[in-house]
Amino acid sequence: MSKKETTNPKDVKSQNYEANKMNTYENSKKKKDKDLPWWVELLFVQIGLPDKLLIKILQVKKKSKELIKSDKKSIITFLFIIISLAYFYPVIKHAKNKLDCEAIAKNYIIKNKNLITFNKREIRMLSTNFCYGGEEIYEIENLKN
């Protein structure tokens, strides 16, 4: 009859440890042979851009990471200011266009309608009305007649 082979768990562990210890060259080679980032592969391997450009890009990348780490608060403040200006720009632009339209309409009313009896508030009201599509200016001629 055949004898059953038994394995000692301590022997298996020591064999695995020795095998892993011997494979340190292969492990280090795997770590060194990491895949290149896609943009490096595309720009510098496939297209063939000069290596000096890659060095400069990597230096700028390193400096920008250091800058972000050291000046995080000021960068966040700057971005907040830019975002708030971008958010309020349409409101400011609309108000400026409205004021410009009212000034042009006011000058038009004064020059073309020859209004002496109306005061400044009434002229401003008519110019605002005209800018928003009102037709009260055209009714002024009918009142004169």
Mean pLDDT by 10 residues, the chain (145 residues): 56 59 58 76 88 92 92 93 96 94 85 71 83 73 52
Query: In Å, how far are 16, 125, 134, 137, 138 from 119, measured between CA atoms?
Result: 100, 10, 19, 15, 18
Yes or no: say if 113 and 140 are a contact pair by the CB < 8 Å rule: yes
pTM of the model: 0.46
Amino acid 145: pLDDT: 47
Residues 19 and 40: their CA atoms lie apart, in Å, by 35
Hunting for tokens 């896609």 — which residue is that? 38
Residues 49 and 43: their CA atoms lie apart, in Å, by 6
Amino acid 80: pLDDT: 97
Domain boundaries, the chain: 10-70, 72-145
Q: Within 10 A of 127 (CB to CB), how many other CB atoms are there?
A: 21
